[in-house]
Structure 1
Amino acid sequence: KKARATGRKQTPIARKKKLRKNKPPPKQVSIEEGNNTSKSPSKPTAATARKLDPELSATTTTAPSVLDTVLMKIQPFFVKLQESTEKMDRMMEQQALQENQTPSTTGTPNMIPMGSTNLPAANGHYDARTIERNGPAPPTLPTQTPPAVITPTRPTTYQGPIPTYQQDGSKGDSDKIHEIEITSVEIDKAMMPEAMTKNAEINGTYDRADDIAALPGKTSPGGGDSESGSGVSEDVLTRLAETLGSDNSKITMLDSGYGRRNRHGLGLITSEDTLLDAYKQCYKKEEVLFKNYRFRMMHYLGRLGYTSSFIDDYLERGLLPRIIRESFLNYTALIGKIMFKWNATADPWEDSEALVILKVHSSNLLDIRTNCNSKKMLLLQNYAYLRDAKKKGFVNDTITEKNFERQDRRNQRLRDELEAVKAIKGGPKEGRGNPHKDQDPSPKKCSHCKNRDLHIAAGLEHIKTVCPLKDQAGSWAKAAAGKVAAKYSNDNKGEKTRPMEEVIKEVSESWAKS
């Protein structure tokens, strides 16, 4: 106003000096009040004004700001969060103290527990500022105990109870294998690898063995037999329950079809063609059969904890794999014996010695299959039977008896055929030098009774098949044929008719009395 009145202009420097001179001094505000004030000190808030002026605070009431309200509401949450964080830090420090290790001898600084704020200096020590800020260094931790070495439950080398070179000394005794009863507990200890004591594992090992007596059919478990038959095991339901209740990693392969008739190998041989096919198939399947058996055992025993070297040694020297191999050799030797007998003669298949041997051994092996109560007993009994049969050359009393009967039938058939040929062609022809030219050329004697009159009186041909005395012993028939013929002729003179059977019975009774 003065400048305008005097007409003089005020310079900028003078204007600034004047403003500084007329500017009021700043108010002294505490730290707490300063936190509640706005950024501009020249414009205090209403709350600050009330604190500075008690009279204004008593007479004037103003609502708190939005920021103050929010801070008041979230303050308890931050307090709880801080407490939980501190508690978690203490727990992590205690866990780190238990798990951490002491520094190595090379001078590496101590490990800092997880969650700790204590950081070591460059030389591995804590300086005064670090101690003042974060507390003293953590104590030296004890050395961690190294993990204990767990001894494997399965052995690493196989130590069989029976040396490989030892022969089976129980030949001839079908109830023993290497002097061990097949029904005893010791047989499982001899057959199984070491440290195998559970029944589920033992049964699984037997189930994975090949049924050699099923060749040329299916020998291993798994897959498809749909035909039902007798001989199903009594322990199938028990074994199935054990399988379902066991660990999935050690489920037992259940072979419940071993007792069926369609698993009977020799029953598949019904003619000379099927015999030749079975002979070829047995030798053709040998390599694949034992290769698959090895794969099954490697997989099964490996899951039970045995090493591959142990399994290889067990498959080479173990008693169960050994009797499987010997059963295969004996079984193929039996089929070879039948094949040899068939090729050695020109007999028809229905009346050959080869068929006799096949039927006898097939019947015996089928009886074992349909009457055993477990796959284990089937394997052991088949081995014992084939072992003893091979020792005797696959010949026994039954085969010998049937061969005698077969030979007797064959001889009688040849005699009958010869007599039939003679009857068709007639007797010796007339001619020079023939001493029998005046005799009756037709044959008049039966090969059984040797009496032509008996056959003439009965009106029958002179062959044994129609001889009235064919049911009698040959010696008695020859001696009594004449008497029977004479009595029959006398009793049937005129209109009398008396059966030949009554005449033979009467002659036989009188013969016995005399």
Structure 2
Amino acid sequence: MKIQPFFVKLQESTEKMDRMMEQQALQENQTPSTTGTPNMIPMGSTNLPAANGHYDARTIERNGPAPPTLPTQTPPAVITPTRPTTYQGPIPTYQQDGSKGDSDKIHEIEITSVEIDKAMMPEAMTKNAEINGTYDRADDIAALPGKTSPGGGDSESGSGVSEDVLTRLAETLGSDNSKITMLDSGYGRRNRHGLGLITSEDTLLDAYKQCYKKEEVLFKNYRFRMMHYLGRLGYTSSFIDDYLERGLLPRIIRESFLNYTALIGKIMFKWNATADPWEDSEALVILKVHSSNLLDIRTNCNSKKMLLLQNYAYLRDAKKKGFVNDTITEKNFERQDRRNQRLRDELEAVKAIKGGPKEGRGNPHKDQDPSPKKCSHCKNRDLHIAAGLEHIKTVCPLKDQAGSWAKAAAGKVAAKYSNDNKGEKTRPMEEVIKEVSESWAKS
């Protein structure tokens, strides 16, 4: 009777020992392996580990077979397109434009072709919104001495707004907000026509000075705009520097500036070289012809791109011919005919007043020009009349001043001298000239 409890306790101890061994084996099985895969026993395996800390038949019976091992999957690599780091433009820096005389081509490329954008733009730029944004940030050289770059200022709502504004706006709204383009829809307005601002000898001199004064600031701001814009599109600063130095679009902007300022210099030279009044001068003829042609380009082009390219081609060809064409030659002949007719009319008027001098031998006034002379330095009769001087340079009140300034300021000096010496007032000419010169410098 006492032996039975002993066997019962022995059986309980054995079962307790088995449970402890099973728990230990289970804990060791849950420890992660070095390969990241659990130490599971494959389903259907007959080679079971011993009970010393590993699986046995009772473990599989209680916990079920080990789950199948799933193969690991590596996500595919994502290749992000990058912009080039070195500019490899199609036009070498040293190459000259061989399309001179053909206004429809630039470097032998049709300005209306698809290839022109490939030549003008940096590599890897194919989206229309990015291409148009690059053109928009280029300076409109033919607007000098006025505003040449997009953004703010224009209030005139006249003609010339491009037909593709709605298309450009749709492209802009559909693009990435961080790369939004800048619309320059005012390029075709008349108040952006630079030569239209020159209406007299005074404004001609001012335009001549302003063009050269703005050169450094103009190209510095252009570089800042392109650095900011192309940088946001993914181009490196070294690439942008190369593009601004050797790219075709920056190059034609620089050459347009040189040709445009050469045109204004030509007009200035013609004005200084003759004693003709402004209203009947060869300088005004050249100005009017080129101003009319550039205005036609501005008001008839349908995009900022076409304005830049056509202006460049026009100025390039005009400079090759010395800014003289058939129209200018014809108008100069007409101007000379009008001048000769005016002189003949004045001569007839003088003859009528004096009773008409008889032509014949011994008549000293036969070939005399009855028109009053004009000083070759200031070219202003009123100044010499007000000062009571002859119309010669040696006695000109402005003989010590530069010729261009003397021509431009002579009218103001004459008017102020006459006004300051009305009645009993007597003011020296030197004081009047000094006052006009100081006010001129401040303006």
The question of a shared fold, defined as TM-score above 0.5 by the shorter chain, is answered with: yes
1:99–1:269: structure 2 CA closer, same or farther, 3 Å change rule?
farther
In the TM superposition, residue 231 of structure 1 has moved relative to its aligned partner by: 1.6
1:74–1:260: structure 2 CA closer, same or farther, 3 Å change rule?
farther
In the TM superposition, residue 416 of structure 1 has moved relative to its aligned partner by: 1.7
In the TM superposition, residue 239 of structure 1 has moved relative to its aligned partner by: 0.9
1:154–1:499: structure 2 CA closer, same or farther, 3 Å change rule?
closer
Gapped regions of structure 2 (runs ≥ 5) = none
In the TM superposition, residue 419 of structure 1 has moved relative to its aligned partner by: 2.5
1:164–1:487: structure 2 CA closer, same or farther, 3 Å change rule?
closer
SS of the residue 2:30 aligns to: coil
- Map of 2:145 onto structure 1: 216
459-468 or 416-425: bigger deviation? 459-468
Q: Is the contact made by 1:230 and 1:260 (CA closer than 8 Å) also made in structure 2?
A: yes
1:339-373 per-residue CA deviation (whole Å, 9 max, x = no partner) reads 00011111111100000000000000000000000
1:411–1:235: structure 2 CA closer, same or farther, 3 Å change rule?
same
92-101 or 270-279: bigger deviation? 92-101
Q: Is the contact made by 1:92 and 1:114 (CA closer than 8 Å) also made in structure 2?
A: no
- State how far apart, in whole Å, the 2-side matches of 1:403 and 1:73 are: 148
Gapped regions of structure 1 (runs ≥ 5) = 1-71
In the TM superposition, residue 248 of structure 1 has moved relative to its aligned partner by: 1.1
1:467-505 per-residue CA deviation (whole Å, 9 max, x = no partner) reads 999999999999999999999999999999999999999
- State how far apart, in whole Å, the 2-side matches of 1:324 and 1:152 are: 30
In the TM superposition, residue 241 of structure 1 has moved relative to its aligned partner by: 1.9
1:162–1:118: structure 2 CA closer, same or farther, 3 Å change rule?
farther
487-496 or 349-358: bigger deviation? 487-496
1:78-127 per-residue CA deviation (whole Å, 9 max, x = no partner) reads 99999999999999999999999999999999999999999999999999
1:81–1:202: structure 2 CA closer, same or farther, 3 Å change rule?
farther
- State how far apart, in whole Å, the 2-side matches of 1:510 and 1:271 are: 19
1:232–1:463: structure 2 CA closer, same or farther, 3 Å change rule?
same
In the TM superposition, residue 237 of structure 1 has moved relative to its aligned partner by: 1.2
- State how far apart, in whole Å, the 1-side matches of 2:206 and 2:413 are: 56
- Map of 2:397 onto structure 1: 468
Q: Does 1:102 align with 2:31?
A: yes
SS of the residue 1:285 aligns to: helix
- State how far apart, in whole Å, the 1-side matches of 2:211 and 2:434 are: 58
Q: Is the contact made by 1:214 and 1:263 (CA closer than 8 Å) also made in structure 2?
A: yes
Q: Is the contact made by 1:190 and 1:319 (CA closer than 8 Å) also made in structure 2?
A: yes
Q: Does 1:427 align with 2:356?
A: yes
1:29-80 per-residue CA deviation (whole Å, 9 max, x = no partner) reads xxxxxxxxxxxxxxxxxxxxxxxxxxxxxxxxxxxxxxxxxxx999999999
1:401-455 per-residue CA deviation (whole Å, 9 max, x = no partner) reads 0000000110111122122223333456999999999999999999999999999
1:121-167 per-residue CA deviation (whole Å, 9 max, x = no partner) reads 99999999999999999999999989969564211110011111000
Q: Is the contact made by 2:378 and 2:398 (CA closer than 8 Å) also made in structure 1?
A: yes
In the TM superposition, residue 240 of structure 1 has moved relative to its aligned partner by: 1.3
- State how far apart, in whole Å, the 2-side matches of 1:93 and 1:190 are: 79
1:155–1:429: structure 2 CA closer, same or farther, 3 Å change rule?
closer
- State how far apart, in whole Å, the 2-side matches of 1:301 and 1:494 are: 68
Aligned residues: 443
1:329–1:497: structure 2 CA closer, same or farther, 3 Å change rule?
closer
Q: Which has the higher contact order (CA 8 A, sep 6+)?
A: 2
1:99–1:273: structure 2 CA closer, same or farther, 3 Å change rule?
farther
1:145–1:401: structure 2 CA closer, same or farther, 3 Å change rule?
same
In the TM superposition, residue 392 of structure 1 has moved relative to its aligned partner by: 0.4
310-319 or 85-94: bigger deviation? 85-94
- Map of 2:218 onto structure 1: 289
User: Once superposed, what is the RMSD of the aligned Cα atoms?
Assistant: 17.4
Q: Is the contact made by 2:275 and 2:374 (CA closer than 8 Å) also made in structure 1?
A: no
1:188–1:462: structure 2 CA closer, same or farther, 3 Å change rule?
closer
Identity, in percent, stands at 100
What is the TM-score of this pair, normalised by structure 2? 0.66
Q: Is the contact made by 1:93 and 1:115 (CA closer than 8 Å) also made in structure 2?
A: no
1:484–1:102: structure 2 CA closer, same or farther, 3 Å change rule?
closer
- State how far apart, in whole Å, the 2-side matches of 1:243 and 1:75 are: 96
1:470–1:209: structure 2 CA closer, same or farther, 3 Å change rule?
closer
- State how far apart, in whole Å, the 1-side matches of 2:3 and 2:174 are: 57
In the TM superposition, residue 338 of structure 1 has moved relative to its aligned partner by: 0.4
- State how far apart, in whole Å, the 1-side matches of 2:40 and 2:389 are: 122
- State how far apart, in whole Å, the 1-side matches of 2:119 and 2:220 are: 23
Q: Is the contact made by 2:28 and 2:54 (CA closer than 8 Å) also made in structure 1?
A: no
1:138–1:181: structure 2 CA closer, same or farther, 3 Å change rule?
same
1:188–1:448: structure 2 CA closer, same or farther, 3 Å change rule?
closer
1:252-279 per-residue CA deviation (whole Å, 9 max, x = no partner) reads 1000000101110001111110111111
SS of the residue 1:449 aligns to: coil
- State how far apart, in whole Å, the 1-side matches of 2:181 and 2:362 are: 89
- State how far apart, in whole Å, the 2-side matches of 1:75 and 1:249 are: 89
1:347–1:223: structure 2 CA closer, same or farther, 3 Å change rule?
same
Q: Is the contact made by 1:96 and 1:113 (CA closer than 8 Å) also made in structure 2?
A: no
Q: Is the contact made by 2:289 and 2:328 (CA closer than 8 Å) also made in structure 1?
A: yes
- Map of 1:62 onto structure 2: none
In the TM superposition, residue 193 of structure 1 has moved relative to its aligned partner by: 0.5
1:398–1:94: structure 2 CA closer, same or farther, 3 Å change rule?
farther
- State how far apart, in whole Å, the 2-side matches of 1:507 and 1:289 are: 31
88-97 or 380-389: bigger deviation? 88-97
SS of the residue 2:2 aligns to: helix
